[in-house]
Amino acid sequence: MKLLDAPKGVEVKIIDYLGGKGVGLKLRQLGLAPGKKVKVLRHAPLEGPIMVEVEGRSIAIGRGIAAHVKVGDL
């Protein structure tokens, strides 16, 4: 499943990135590394960003980037 498809309020684990080196670099800078737990806080309306919580921090991720993050159940 992709992070983009994860339902609101669910905690998932990042498995891998689908995409080039730039996607992985950007996500690691935000603290979204494989093995980390992420909780989806909300999906903004009108194709807006997805708000996630990682290690107590809220982060907004664009839908294009979230579509490149492969996640799984805990």
pLDDT, tens digit, for every residue of 24-54?
Answer: 888 888 889 999 999 999 998 888 999 999 9
Give me the pLDDT at residue 35, please. 94
What CATH code is carried by the domain that includes residue 41?
Answer: 2.30.30.90
Give the whole-angstrom CA distance, residue 41 versus residue 57.
11
Q: What is the pLDDT of residue 45?
A: 87
pTM score: 0.84
Task: Indicate if the pLDDT at residue 19 is higher than 80.
Answer: no
More confident residue, 11 or 23: 11
User: How many domains does the structure of the chain reveal?
Assistant: 1
Torsion sign over Cα 14, 8, 52, 57: negative
Could you tell me the residue range of the domain that residue 13 belongs to?
Answer: 3-73
Instruction: Please determine, for residue 66, whether its predicted confidence score (pLDDT) is greater than 80.
Output: yes
State yes or no: pLDDT of 62 exceeds 80.
yes
Helix (H, G, I), strand (E, B) or coil at 53: strand
